[in-house]
Each structure stands twice: as C-alpha cells, then as structure tokens.
C-alpha cells in the first residue's frame, strides 16, 4: 500500500492542476501508454502463440500437412502411449527431485552468504554464482560429459589416485546424470531467490529467539524456516517450471533412458507432428498453470531478477 501512494501522487503531478475531467481521464489513460509496445509484443508474440498451441492440439496432420478437423486424438494418443505417459510422469518426478535438491543445497549456501560473509563481499560472491550464466549454456552441459564420461576428468583423477583403473563413466547417459546437471543448472536461480529474501530477513528475530532461550538450531527451525516458506515456494516454482521444459540437458547427458517430456515435444515438432507436439505442450502448460494458481501468492518477485 505504501508503495501506491507516491505513485498516485505523481499521477497527480502529470495531471497537474490543469484538470478538466475529460482531460484528467485522458491523462489517466495516457499514463499507461508506456505499456503499449510491451502489450503488443507479449500479446502478439507470447499469448497468441500459446493460444495457438491449444488450437493445434485439437487438429491433426496427414503427410506433413495440417488437417483442421477437431478431435481429441492427439490427447488420446499421448495418454494411451506408455512411453509418453511414463516420460511425462518421470519428468514431473525428476522436476520434484531436482527442485528439492536445489533448494536444499541453496538454503545453507544463502544462509552462509548472508550471515557469514561481509556485506561488501556478498555482492561479488553473488555475482560469481550467476557468472556461469554467461558461459554458453550448452557447453556447460556438455562439460559434464567431459567430467563424468569414460575419458572424463573424474575418471582420470580417480585413475591417477589409483582408486580405479581403466575407463569408467559416472552417472552419465541415465537419469542420475540428468538429475545432477539439472541441479547444477538451476542452483543459481534458487540462490538468487532465497538470497533476496534471506537478505531482507530481520535477523533480530533470530536473536530474539536466542534471547528467549532457543538453541541456534531450534531458533533456525522455529523462527527462520517458517518465515522462509513463501520464498522457498517461489524458488521452487522458478526452478521447477523451467525444468519441465528442459530438453537439451537430457539430450546431451541422458542417453536413451534420461529422456524427458521436453525431448518428446522437440521431437514431435521436428517430425512435423505439430498437433501431437501441441497436445504434449498443452499438458505441460496445464501443469504450469495449476502450479501458478496454487502458488500465486509467491509469484511477485520482480526484485529477485532485479538483484
């Protein structure tokens, strides 16, 4: 609320004292003028296309051309095919696992950053966390092949140490590899979100808890954790949803077993099965919408990215 007031006051500045009613109304509309280009961009090139997928999911193709007859065949095919359904569920399970792990790793990390690192270093260290974003996403994924693969860094080191000998591969070309890489990819997202809220946390509350006889552990559990619930939800959403659409990581490190729903969709579209791909996309979008509705309270996090 407090933020609304100055905004309203400026609105008045621009309205000046020159207020005829019609003029004021016009000015009122004018204040939204800045939204117009963005509205066109998002409307035409984000919302309309998403709506299109929904439409397409009810059509079908015959010999690489679209047939516009409305039917549920794509959904039926999708739901009837064991591989698809299994892949879909697997993707959700993978998402949940990777998200929980990411958050579990990010929590103590952020706690350390906020509480044990001097303020002036925090920014730099945070910047270092996002630094990997500035390297090619693809190569970062591929790098894991060079680390975990048969001639990988890990194998080489273990061989040198005499722990193993010969070529070994670790986690690669299977679900665990995908899981590891997903955690690696999304850890910075979780850190950014959690850091933003931990940084704002009133640590006096922790001291108050200590003062009232709570041991450090209980103080964290009883006072910090409950209040982090919202931002944990936010972080989870911001990690989980993109994971649902991942297809490059599984493609590079997943082998035939690590396939996720994103690969299916990418494949359908590559094979011009637009309606089937659309149907799969709609199912993913459905999950996302449900999540967004459930967690709508934890979504206003513009400042996360701003930081």
Give the E-state strand segments of the chain in sequence order. Answer: 60-62, 65-67
| 97, 100, 109, 170: residue in contact with other proteins (rule CB under 8 A) | 109
CA distance linking residue 208 with residue 214, whole number of Å = 9
Verify binding: residue 170, other proteins, rule CB under 8 A. no
Closest CA to 231 of 289, 180, 297, 163: 297
Cα–Cα distances (Å) from 11 to 18, 23, 274, in that order, read: 13, 13, 47
Verify binding: residue 150, other proteins, rule CB under 8 A. yes
CB proximity list for 260: less than 8 A, separation 6 or greater: 87, 90, 91, 94, 178, 246, 247, 250, 254
Verify binding: residue 175, other proteins, rule CB under 8 A. no
| 2, 134, 162, 165: residue in contact with other proteins (rule CB under 8 A) | 134
CA distance linking residue 157 with residue 149, whole number of Å = 12
57 binds, among ligand ATP, other proteins, none (CB under 5 to 8 A by kind): none
Verify binding: residue 9, ligand ATP, rule CB under 6 A. yes
| 129, 171, 232, 233: residue in contact with other proteins (rule CB under 8 A) | 129
DSSP-assigned letter for residue 47? I
**What are the structure tokens assigned to 98, written together?**
């990777």
Verify binding: residue 62, ligand ATP, rule CB under 6 A. no
| 1, 2, 22, 108: residue in contact with other proteins (rule CB under 8 A) | 108
Verify binding: residue 143, other proteins, rule CB under 8 A. yes
State in angstroms the smallest separation of the CB of 120 from ligand ATP: 12
State in angstroms the smallest separation of the CB of 264 from ligand ATP: 53
State in angstroms the smallest separation of the CB of 6 from ligand ATP: 8
- CB-neighbour burial class of residue 61 (10 A; exposed 0-12, middle 13-18, buried 19+): middle
Verify binding: residue 82, ligand ATP, rule CB under 6 A. no
Verify binding: residue 71, other proteins, rule CB under 8 A. no
69 φ, ψ (degrees, to nearest 5): -105, 135
Give the residues lining the site for ligand ATP (CB under 6 A): 5, 8-9
């Amino acid at each position: 609320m407090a933020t609304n007031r100055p905004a309203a006051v400026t609105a008045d500045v621009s309205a000046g004292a020159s207020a005829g009613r019609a003029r004021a109304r016009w000015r009122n509309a004018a204040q939204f003028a800045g939204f117009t280009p963005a509205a066109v961009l998002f409307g035409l090139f984000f919302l309309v296309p998403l709506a299109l997928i929904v439409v397409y999911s009810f059509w079908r193709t015959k010999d690489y051309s679209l047939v516009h007859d409305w039917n549920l065949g794509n959904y039926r095919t999708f739901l009837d095919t064991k591989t698809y359904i299994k892949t879909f569920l697997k993707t959700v399970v993978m998402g949940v696992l990777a998200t929980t792990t990411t958050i579990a790793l990010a929590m103590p990390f952020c706690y350390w950053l906020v509480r044990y690192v001097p303020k002036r270093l925090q920014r730099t260290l945070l910047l270092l966390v996002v630094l990997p974003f500035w390297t090619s996403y693809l190569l970062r994924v591929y790098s894991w092949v060079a680390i975990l693969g048969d001639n990988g860094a890990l194998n080489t080191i273990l061989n040198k140490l005499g722990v193993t000998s010969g070529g070994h591969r670790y986690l690669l070309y299977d679900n665990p590899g995908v899981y590891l890489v997903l955690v690696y990819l999304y850890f910075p997202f979780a850190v950014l979100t959690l850091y933003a809220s931990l940084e704002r946390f009133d640590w006096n509350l922790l001291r108050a808890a200590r003062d009232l006889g709570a041991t450090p552990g209980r103080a964290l559990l009883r006072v910090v954790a409950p209040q982090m619930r919202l931002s944990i939800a936010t972080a989870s959403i911001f990690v989980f949803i993109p994971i649902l659409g991942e297809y490059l990581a599984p493609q590079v490190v997943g082998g035939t077993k690590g396939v996720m729903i994103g690969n299916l969709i990418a494949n359908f579209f590559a094979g011009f099965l637009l309606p089937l791909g659309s149907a799969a996309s709609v199912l993913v979008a459905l999950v996302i919408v449900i999540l967004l509705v459930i967690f709508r309270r934890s979504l206003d996090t513009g400042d996360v990215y701003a930081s």
